[in-house]
Amino acid sequence: MFNAKKITALALTASTIACSAALLSSAAHAQDKQLTIAMITHAQAGDTFWDIIRKGANMAAKKDNIKLIYLSDPTADKEAQLIDNVVQQHVDGIALTLAFPDAMAKAVKAAHAANIPIVGFNAGGDDWKKADLLGYVGQDENIAGAAVGEKLNGEGAKSVLCVDQQQGAVQLEERCNGIKKTFKGKYQILYTTGYDMPTVKSRVQAKLQQDTGIDYVVTLGAPFAPTVLDAIGAVGSKAKLGTFDLTPEAVKLIQGGKLQWAIDQQPFVEGYMAVDLLWLNKVNGDVVGGGGPVLTGPAFVNKSNVDEVAKFAKAGTR
């Protein structure tokens, strides 16, 4: 059973760690050498989710007197190449999304060989230990998916369509597997090609026309929610919509009753903590997590609590 109190406690633990780290901030500014940290993600162009992660990372970098290099590519080989590039630049640490563990393994080993600490975040929750990373910050996507499946059961859903925008990305597969594990009705996955929204809309429309029994659609990224809502309306479907991740637009849709809920993994905290954990390791030898991940979610945002979150979403931090 999804335990909201437990998840809230874990999120508070992450916040407490961040506050404790602030006590060492004077040490960062006293360093003779400014640290250079690279943040490497699988972000796709047009996904505002990553703007929130970058805000968190930039805030931590400013506090810790870090030069932050942000790089991204949504393809496995190119994200691996970005790791090789920053290793050659002799950065002091790497924060990365381990979205494609197999393709990135060789580059990660090269960073280890160069004695560069690596913290994973956002993607790779099942693989960061195998890759021998220093730590991991994010939500457990299997738990998040399972919580969605249970919620769908509770709402009486009978036939669910899950829209996956990036086939092969491990964190999205984990979300899908979690839903499938706990949802008791008919479950289908529809793969789309990234952020080509006209194509996303047409493919969802076609699927809803083909299978009129679909009564719930789940998107694996909040930027897809408005497009899928358009597709639902275009075919006259009565299907409800839920989404993973939270954006300011998703907040408005929840307030307007068009989006039922969003799973918030707190991307601002992911970006902030990934950078801060590397800084703590470099200046104080700290390894946080006790061998486990620093969990930032999941938590449901719905009509009952969305107004509490809205002011932070407006500021671009939720």
Contacts of 58 (CB under 8 A, 6+ apart): 68, 271
Sorting pLDDT into bands at 50, 70 and 90, what band is 19?
low
Domain residue limits, the chain: 4-140+265-296, 141-264
**pLDDT-based confidence at residue 6 (cuts at 50, 70, 90):** very low
Taking alpha carbons only, the member of 276, 275, 278, 273 closest to residue 294 is 273
DSSP secondary structure code for residue 222 in this structure: G
What are the tens digits of pLDDT across the range 48-101? 889 999 999 999 999 999 999 999 999 999 999 999 999 999 999 999 999 999
Contact 56, 70 (CB under 8 A): no
Query: Which pLDDT score, from 0 to 100, does residue 32 have?
Result: 59
Lowest mean pLDDT among 1-10, 124-133, 182-191, 244-253: 1-10
Using alpha carbons, list the distances in angstroms from residue 186 to 167, 216, 231: 20, 10, 20
pTM of the model: 0.81
Q: What is the pLDDT of residue 314?
A: 87
pLDDT at 248 over 50: yes
How many other C-beta atoms can be found within 10 angstroms of the C-beta atom of residue 130? 11
pLDDT in tens, 132-191: 999 999 999 999 999 999 999 999 999 999 999 988 888 899 999 999 999 999 999 999
Q: Angle formed by the axes of helices 267-284 and 4-22, to 10°?
A: 40
Q: What is the mean pLDDT of the chain?
A: 90
Alpha-carbon dihedral 220, 53, 298, 293, rounded to 10 degrees = 120
pLDDT of residue 194: 79
- Answer whether 150's CB lies under 8 Å from 157's CB: no
Check for a shared fold between 4-140+265-296 and 141-264. Answer: yes
Q: Which residue has the tokens 């280890």?
A: 112
Nearest-Å Rg of the Cα atoms of the chain is 20
Q: Give SS3 for 151.
A: helix
pLDDT of residue 31: 53
Give first-to-last CA distance, the chain, whole Å. 25
| Inter-helix orientation angle 170-182/141-154, to 10° | 40
Predicted local confidence at residue 187, as pLDDT = 97
> Whole-angstrom Cα distance, residue 17 to residue 267?
16
Highest CATH level, class, for 4-140+265-296? alpha beta
Q: Tell me the per-residue pLDDT of 108-138, one tens digit each, with 9 for 90 and over.
A: 999 999 999 999 999 999 999 999 999 999 9
Topology of the domain covering 141-264 = Rossmann fold (3.40.50)
pLDDT of residue 166: 85
Query: DSSP E strands: which ranges in 147-280?
Result: 159-164, 186-191, 216-219, 240-244, 261-264
